[in-house]
Structure 1
Amino acid sequence: MMHHLPPSHRLRGVSLPALLISMALGLLLAGMLVWSYAEARRQFLIADELARMHENGRFALALLRRELMLAGFLGGLAPHVRPSLPAFVPGCGVAARWPLAAFRALDMQVDYNGGAPQTVSGTVLDCLPSSMLERGSDLLAVRRTAGEATLSNGQLAGAAGGVDQGYWYLRLAAGGARAQWWQAGRIAAAEARPGSGVDYWRLLARVFYVRRYSIAPADRIPTLCAAALAPSGVFSQCLVEGVERLHIELGVDHNGDGAPDYYAVEPDTGQLQQAVTARIALLVRSVAPVAGYSGPRQHTLGQLAFTADSDGYVRRVFSTTVALRNLHPSVAGGSA
């Protein structure tokens, strides 16, 4: 005997419209989850690139700030004394015997735009191939001695085991009244005795520039580098990745009161000699692009405006002003 279920108890299937609505809601929810994950990941990448970029920017700014503060520091050399010049000096600007001849502590190439880089004072920086230099960026040449003497009155500094072979030093004798540039070989025994009255100060001569790449041309990561005087000529070392532009403006003092009257974007040789401050501006970008990022493209570096590409890189400007204490010690109180 068969029993028939009443109509209210019969099994019914899901209607096609209900199925389509359920599928649409499921796809919408899945899409929202995927979008939320992608957005969270994008924000994480932006924060990560920002953190690394800020670290690089602050480090690069601190490095250049210290170099400019010490530009022109020559140990215990008396202001009226000029070190005797050796017959040959290797390195950048060989024709001008840079970095020892006519010791100009601060020099620069403004807004490099191709060809052999040449400083305001006319020195051709022949150690820097034009193919690797970032156009639109400045080059900064700084010369000074180390902040501490390697040998002071015949005694080696605490951390110094001796002079570094082949490097250049400022040798001072008779209380700084006699001076000469000396390429390290071996210090005479009579000089390396306490009370000898002889000092040796390590010369640091560097050209800071922005290279188009970090390790290889294919990586296209703009990088702050420095060409430094070394025993066999010039040794280049890259310092901070992501530095896209280096811009320097000099505060020029016309009336000799030690305060800048204005800032020169493209200084001439006279303004270079009258500079009492320097304003550093760095445009720093993230090392890697962030998908979907579209930040501000207009950036101001000192008195200059720069328009960046819309390429997904995060960019920020870092800037500071530095007193050039050692270029005018009688006015600004030169120090190490």
Structure 2
Amino acid sequence: MSAHGSSARAVQRPSAHGVQGFTLVELMVAMAIGLLLVAALVALVVSTIANRSELDKSARQIENGRYALKVLSEDIALAGFLGTSGLYSWDRVAPVACPASVADLGYATSTLPLAVQLLTATPGCVTNVQPGTDMLLLTRVAVQPVAPASTSATEAYVQVSTCQKDTKSFTAAAGAQAADFTLMQKDCSDTHLAQVRKAIQRIYFVSSCHECGKDTIPTLKVAEYVGGTMTITPLVEGIENLQFDFGIDTDGNGSPDCYVSNPDAPAPAQIDASVCVPPATAYDWSIVAANRANVMAVRVNLLARNTETTGGWTDDRTYHLGLGAPTVGPFNDSYKRHAYSTVARLNNPSGLRELP
């Protein structure tokens, strides 16, 4: 065999000129495309986060607005509740807004407090009221009765008689003991005493702050008579304005016939015959006590706003909040807002008038 045939064949290797790779230009183009993709991805993430944040703000605002309406309308529907109608009819008087005694609450020998009342001046026990907003004073008794032996010495309670033998129609007392509540039920049995319920007086208003001194978030608050004093509690953040319209029963059938923004001094345009049809028997709008007692429904108008600003947003809209309030806005700020409204019937005063 030849030397060539007997030797191993040499392995052929590609030359250096045959190796393929990225040029500098190609690498720079690839990096630029990658950066564009990353930038687009970052922009998408930022946009998604921003949209989610706005959705959360809107959801909180809607929830706050609807919850505020729910709280107000449910309590207004219970206004004037005594647990029973008793055997008597009582005159209604305006209670003292900041009571210091049971008498200040409006429970006297033959009078009970008004179910609802518009407060036209800020009482001393209410602070940081948002300018230009309404305040509503509401009275009733608690839904759940308590045993006479379980009454608290620092609260006020009401007991209504349904027994013809009782010498008085109701008892209202503070610092009560069991011996103070001896009125009976319909069977006039000493073993069947009438129910005892805690007296409730509340003032609903809009405050210019949630934690006053720490923030400026407008908030729906309530001042409630608890333990012998008015205690203020925040209810719903972001409620910026609150206005009430009052449905007046002019013919005594328990249904509101005309709505006015202030029962104490109805605006002439609100009681004009073109918008408020007169009853068969003339109604005298100058009698303040009658107007107050004839309130059978309350229309609640409120303005809710986000508690945080929205970048790039300017609120240039106007909002109508009932009969007495001027149109509010534009605010020209970065808060988003929405107006809410509902009508709440005073079931207890109106229900008594519907009895045959």
TM range (shorter): 0.7 to 0.9
- Structure 1 residues 245, 49: CA separation in 2 closer, same or farther (over 3 Å shift)? same
Kindly report the root-mean-square deviation, in angstroms, between the aligned alpha carbons of the 2 structures: 3.6
The equivalent of 1:50 in structure 2 is 58
Pair 1:194–1:96, CA change in 2 (3 A): closer
Relative to structure 1, is the Cα distance of residues 79 and 67 closer, same or farther in structure 2, using a 3 angstrom cutoff?
A: farther
Question: SS at 1:306's partner residue?
Answer: coil
Aligned equivalents of 1:164 and 1:46: distance in 2?
47
Alignment of 1:268-279 (within 5 A): 268=264, 269=288, 270-279=290-299
Map 1:1-336 to 2 at 5 A.
Answer: 29=37, 31-76=39-84, 77-81=86-90, 92=98, 98-100=104-106, 103-109=113-119, 117=122, 125-129=123-127, 132-151=128-147, 162-173=150-161, 175=163, 177-188=168-179, 195-268=191-264, 269=288, 270-294=290-314, 297-303=317-323, 304=325, 305-332=327-354
Residues 330 and 233 of structure 1: is their aligned pair in 2 closer, same or farther, counting only changes over 3 Å?
same
**CA deviation string 1:279-301 (max 9, x = no partner):** 11221122222333446632232
| Contact 2:77–2:346 (Cα < 8 Å) also in 1 | yes
CA contact (8 A) 1:68 1:142 kept: yes
User: CA contact under 8 A between 1:209 and 1:226: conserved in structure 2?
Assistant: yes
Query: Does the CA contact (< 8 Å) of 1:190 and 1:196 recur in 2?
Result: no
Give the distance between the partners of 1:73 and 1:287, measured in 2 at CA.
35
Taking the aligned partners of 2:314 and 2:47, their CA distance within structure 1 comes to 14
**Letter of the structure 2 residue corresponding to residue 71 of structure 1:** A
1:278: how far off?
A: 1.2
Check 1:316–1:90 CA distance in 2 against 1; reply closer, same or farther (3 A cut).
Answer: closer
More strand by share: 1
| Length-normalised TM-score, structure 2 | 0.71
SS at match of 1:326: helix
Identity of aligned residues (%): 25
2:118 and 2:135 in contact (8 A); partners too: yes
Q: TM-score, normalised by structure 1?
A: 0.74
Structure 1: stretches of 5+ with no match in the other structure: 84-88, 111-115, 118-124
- Pick the structure with greater CA Rg: 2
Find the counterpart in structure 2 of residue 120 from structure 1. none
Alpha carbons of structure 1 residues 108 and 324: separation in structure 2 relative to 1, 3 Å: same
Query: How many residues end up aligned between the 2 structures?
Result: 300
